[in-house]
């Protein structure tokens, strides 16, 4: 009996080992599952935290989300050509400078709508124009990516849904830090460090830009009808809200204008014609006054700090006149 019992006891051990072996894979799966959940949660938390600070930085850079009365909209010429802090201080009107290099006419139409939803107190829009206003050549077809940081805002979400690829749109929705690319990341960091005004202190050296000027001279001034339509829609939108608009032709160096003066004059007349049909819209042509002042330029297309302050002083005086009922350059 003893021997039989011992044999029976031994025969039970393999079955117990099998149970332990069967349970171990289940436990391993659970451990892996919890590890994946933990790292996923950590990733999402890190993603949200980094995005939170970057979003605050880019908002500070542009000056959005405040009770602004003046909205400046444009691209790189606006970025380097107007001192928004001076406008705000000397006119006593909080100012937003929603301007970024590469923004085309369609981008700016949505930028205006976006800014107005955040700043319904805006009374005046300063919109930069030039002879390349209606030309799409030379601008990125993916300029919409500049506004991915604002994909959660209703207006920009609609714009991006219609213009971004579905992969870009939904990845940006899911992983928030992917909304920032090189350019917007730089703007966010500048905002976080409170370096919101761009200052170029150098003066243009023509000999360094001979190649650039040659390429620009070969480019013809073109008019894309769809851009004219978007621009007209933007003006109508602002007029319908009883917001004054100042179209500001910030100067570019005369060397860029000289090769095609006829087309240049035609574009200026187009802008003047669009102004005449709208009582709330004004046109300030600073180019004709300052294009020959090479000391005001950092490069052939952008003003240096001295140029920015000269133009800002002139603009402040002109804005005062317009707001006081003047009829400047209509």
Question: What is the dihedral sign for C-alpha 294, 299, 300, 301?
Answer: negative
Residue 13 lies in a domain: no
Amino acid 22: pLDDT: 54
Residue 316 lies in a domain: yes
Residue 5 lies in a domain: no
Q: What is the pLDDT of residues 207-241, one digit of tens each?
A: 888 887 778 777 778 888 999 999 999 999 999 99
Residue 4 lies in a domain: no
Q: Which domain holds residue 80?
A: 48-323
**Ranges of residues in the chain whose predicted pLDDT is under 70:** 1-27, 137-140, 326-330
Residue 253 lies in a domain: yes
Which pair of structure tokens corresponds to residue 290?
């300052």
CATH number at residue 205: 3.40.50.1110
How many other CB atoms are there within 10 angstroms of residue 73's CB atom? 24
Q: What is the pLDDT of residues 78-133, one digit of tens each?
A: 999 999 999 999 999 999 999 998 899 999 999 999 999 999 999 999 999 998 88
Which pair of structure tokens corresponds to residue 38?
């933990």
If one counts the domains in the chain, the total is 1
Length of the chain: 330
How many other CB atoms are there within 10 angstroms of residue 190's CB atom? 17
Angle between helices 166-174 and 154-163 (to 10 degrees): 140
Residue 26 lies in a domain: no
Amino acid 173: pLDDT: 95
Residue 328 lies in a domain: no
Predicted model pTM? 0.86
Residue 167 lies in a domain: yes
């Amino acid at each position: 009996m003893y021997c039989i019992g011992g044999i029976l006891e031994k025969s039970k051990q393999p079955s117990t080992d099998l149970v332990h072996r069967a349970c171990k894979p289940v436990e391993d799966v659970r451990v892996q599952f919890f590890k994946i959940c933990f790292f996923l949660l950590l990733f999402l938390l890190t993603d949200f935290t980094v995005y939170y600070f970057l979003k605050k930085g880019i908002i500070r850079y542009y000056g959005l989300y405040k009770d602004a009365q003046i909205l400046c909209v444009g691209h790189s010429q606006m970025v380097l050509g107007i001192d928004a802090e001076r406008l705000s201080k000397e006119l006593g009107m909080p100012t937003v400078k929603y301007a970024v290099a590469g923004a085309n006419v369609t981008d700016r139409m949505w930028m205006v709508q976006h800014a107005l939803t955040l700043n319904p107190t805006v009374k005046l829009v300063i919109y930069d124009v030039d002879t390349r206003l209606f030309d799409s050549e030379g601008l990125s077809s993916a300029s919409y990516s500049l506004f991915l940081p604002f994909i959660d805002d209703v207006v920009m979400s609609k714009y991006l849904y219609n213009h971004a690829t579905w992969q870009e749109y939904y990845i940006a929705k899911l992983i928030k830090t992917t909304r920032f690319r090189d350019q917007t990341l730089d703007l966010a960091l500048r905002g976080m460090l409170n370096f919101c005004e761009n200052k170029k202190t150098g003066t243009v050296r023509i000999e360094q830009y001979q190649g650039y000027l040659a390429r620009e001279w070969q480019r013809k001034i073109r008019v894309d009808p769809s851009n004219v339509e978007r621009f007209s829609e933007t003006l109508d939108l602002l007029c319908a809200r009883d917001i004054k608009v100042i179209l500001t032709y910030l100067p570019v160096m005369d060397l860029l204008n000289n090769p095609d003066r006829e087309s240049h004059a035609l574009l200026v007349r187009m802008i003047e014609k669009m102004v005449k049909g709208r009582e709330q819209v004004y046109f300030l042509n600073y180019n004709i006054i300052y294009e020959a002042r090479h000391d005001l330029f950092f490069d052939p297309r952008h003003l240096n700090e001295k140029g920015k302050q000269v133009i800002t002083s002139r603009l402040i005086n002109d804005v005062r006149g317009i707001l006081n009922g003047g009829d400047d350059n209509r």
